[in-house]
Structures are given as structure tokens and as C-alpha cells.
């Protein structure tokens, strides 16, 4: 058996954030429970953002209050100190902050340049360390920016050194617009792994050009052992032209399991979560390996959760 790999399902947050259909808190909790039922130990469950700006993420505190009382790693996105305070008050134990590989993306997302966004993240990281919360730093457009083009690896290298050095638990490089190629993924992963432990690193891929699984493999082969993925491939970014969904969790789990890496995730149960995601969002069932997975794990007669 090859080394275990951690999958962090970002569907309930990153995946749902920009869906045309806004889900109720109870529906989002049902999706989270279905992921837990599949054995998922890492789930991004909420964002403490303005419900006016992002209506799909309203009710973050209710999400936190409704989470299963277990030891899974439930992370929440916080865009600023106000969001952090709310997350802390709601009982969050793991917060995620976004930094930027380009000024263009930082401006589009948070109306700052990337250094200003870094400073916000650094301030929250200090607070979180004092409060005993784990922090994940994700670098958006670590490979390519829709406004500025190719992002050089030094951006991620410098940011990883800064934030891991300051006590962040994890540093994730995100290919926000799905423009990375596996050779560039491998090169950046190898460079990061030369400086930091695998347990501190992760990758986040979008599947815009159908290269999501190739990029996961390239990172995995370089030694990365933690991946974001989104159930059913839910996702996309409204501020990044051309960004489509995240790489689908079921595709990544299938790849890893077939390569002998334990994930702790039950694929049959994961397909139930994927079908629930499709039912809730009204989207066609997602994932690239859908046809094959549906044959392997046919839809049961009953749905797993009352929704």
C-alpha cells in the first residue's frame, strides 16, 4: 500500500459559493453529513463573508452549530479580521485564508494588491496562533492569472516560506483558473517539497482544461499528499474569467485508490454524496469519470438523507 493521501472536500464552500441555486443551511449540512458518511475527514464547510456579497454562504454560524460533533477537520474561509472574529465566535477550529499570486486577482477578489492581502492574512495568522486555531493559507492563481498571465513559481515559494514560517499549518497552491500543466505542477511541487514537509503542503486544481487529474498525478508523484477537491466537481470562480469547476472528489479518490493510496473514503458512499450534490444544486451529475463510476456504483433506490 502506498502512502495515505488527504482529500479536503471544498464542495460545501468553494463548490456551492457560485451556484445559481442558493442552498439552505439544512441542505448544506445534509451535504456535509453525506461527505462524513463517506469517511471524509477534511471538509471546508463555510465562509464567514458578507451574506450580501455572497448570499450562498449566508448562515455560516448556523452551519458551524449544525456540524456533527466529531473530530473531523471542518475548515472555514475567512476573508478578513471581521470574518475571523465571527468564525472564532462560532467555534471554528481551522480557518483558511486566501493570498494571491497576482495583483490583478487580488484586486478583482478583495480590492487590494497582493501585498495588502498578504498583510491581512499575516495579521489573522497572528491572532489565530494566539487563539490556538489552525490556519490554512491558500495561494490563489499560483500558476496563472486570468488578468496577468503566467505566475512565476517564486510567488508561491516566497509566500509558503513566509506563512509556514509564521506558523500556518498548511500552504496550498491553487490553480484557480485551471491553466496549470502537469510539468509546471511537478516543478513547483518539487521546489516546495525541497523547503517544506509534505504535511505542510497541498494542491488545489480546477478542471477547466480537463487536466485536473493529470495535475493531481504530477503533484502526487512529486510527493504532495494533500489535495483539495469538490464533490461532483462543483465550483468555479465568478471573479476569474474562464474558471470552471474544481477537480471532482470522486475522480481524485478513484485515481488514488487505484494507485494504492489509502484515502479512508468509501467510493460507493461518496457517489451518494455526489448524487445528493447534483440533486440539491440542480446540476447535472459532475466529475470526469462519471459514466464509469456510475456503472461501478449504481444509484440506489433511496436517497441517503431527508433534505
List of residues contacting a copy of itself (CB under 8 A): 178, 181-183, 186, 208-211, 213-214, 216-218, 221, 242, 244, 251, 254-255, 258-260, 287-289, 291-292, 295
Bridge partners of 136, per DSSP, are: 96, 170
Q: Of the candidates 33, 58, 15, which has an alpha carbon nearest to the alpha carbon of residue 207? A: 15
Cell of 201: 503542503
Shortest Å, Cβ 207 to a copy of itself: 9
- DSSP 8-state code for residue 70: S
Of 103 and 190, which has the nearer Cβ to a copy of itself? 190
Q: Evaluate whether 51 touches 39 at the Cβ level (below 8 Å).
A: no
Of 53 and 284, which has the nearer Cβ to a copy of itself? 284
Shortest Å, Cβ 139 to a copy of itself: 21
**Could you confirm whether 203 is annotated as catalytic?**
no
Q: Evaluate whether 196 touches 171 at the Cβ level (below 8 Å).
A: yes
Shortest Å, Cβ 286 to a copy of itself: 12
List the catalytic residue out of 29, 106, 137, 237. 237
Q: Of the candidates 284, 250, 280, which has an alpha carbon nearest to the alpha carbon of residue 265? A: 250
Residue linked to cell 509534505: 198
Bridge partners of 137, per DSSP, are: 97, 171
Residue 283: how many other CB atoms lie within 10 Å: 16
Of 2 and 89, which has the nearer Cβ to a copy of itself? 2
Shortest Å, Cβ 213 to a copy of itself: 5
Of 131 and 183, which has the nearer Cβ to a copy of itself? 183
Q: Evaluate whether 265 touches 253 at the Cβ level (below 8 Å).
A: yes
Where in the sequence numbering do the catalytic residues fall? 237
Amino acid at each position: 500500500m502506498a502512502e495515505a493521501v488527504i482529500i479536503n472536500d471544498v464542495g460545501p464552500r468553494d463548490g456551492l459559493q457560485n451556484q445559481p441555486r442558493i442552498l439552505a443551511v439544512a441542505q448544506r449540512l445534509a451535504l456535509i453529513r453525506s461527505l462524513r458518511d463517506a469517511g471524509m475527514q477534511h471538509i471546508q464547510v463555510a465562509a464567514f463573508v458578507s451574506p450580501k456579497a455572497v448570499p450562498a454562504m449566508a448562515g455560516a454560524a448556523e452551519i458551524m452549530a449544525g456540524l456533527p460533533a466529531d473530530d473531523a477537520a471542518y475548515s472555514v474561509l475567512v476573508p478578513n479580521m471581521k470574518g475571523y472574529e465571527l468564525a472564532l465566535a462560532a467555534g471554528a477550529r481551522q480557518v483558511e485564508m486566501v493570498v494571491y499570486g497576482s495583483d490583478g486577482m487580488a484586486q478583482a477578489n478583495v480590492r487590494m494588491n497582493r501585498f495588502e492581502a498578504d498583510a491581512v492574512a499575516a495579521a489573522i495568522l497572528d491572532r489565530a496562533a494566539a487563539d490556538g486555531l489552525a490556519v490554512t493559507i491558500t495561494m490563489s492563481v499560483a500558476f496563472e492569472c486570468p488578468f496577468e498571465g503566467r505566475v512565476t513559481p517564486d510567488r508561491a515559494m516566497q509566500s509558503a516560506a513566509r506563512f509556514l514560517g509564521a506558523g500556518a499549518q498548511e500552504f496550498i497552491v491553487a490553480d484557480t483558473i485551471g491553466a496549470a500543466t502537469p510539468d509546471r505542477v511537478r516543478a513547483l511541487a518539487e521546489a516546495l517539497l525541497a523547503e517544506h514537509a509534505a504535511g505542510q503542503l497541498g494542491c488545489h486544481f480546477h478542471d477547466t482544461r480537463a487536466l485536473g487529474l493529470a495535475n493531481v498525478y504530477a503533484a502526487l508523484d512529486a510527493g504532495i499528499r494533500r489535495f483539495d477537491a469538490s464533490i461532483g466537481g462543483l465550483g468555479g470562480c465568478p471573479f476569474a474569467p474562464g474558471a470552471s469547476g474544481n477537480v471532482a472528489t470522486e475522480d481524485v479518490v478513484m485515481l488514488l485508490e487505484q494507485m494504492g493510496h489509502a484515502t479512508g473514503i468509501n467510493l460507493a458512499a461518496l457517489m451518494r454524496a455526489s448524487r445528493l450534490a447534483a440533486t440539491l444544486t440542480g446540476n447535472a451529475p459532475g466529475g470526469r469519470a462519471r459514466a464509469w463510476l456510475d456503472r461501478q456504483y449504481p444509484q440506489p433506490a433511496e436517497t441517503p438523507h431527508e433534505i
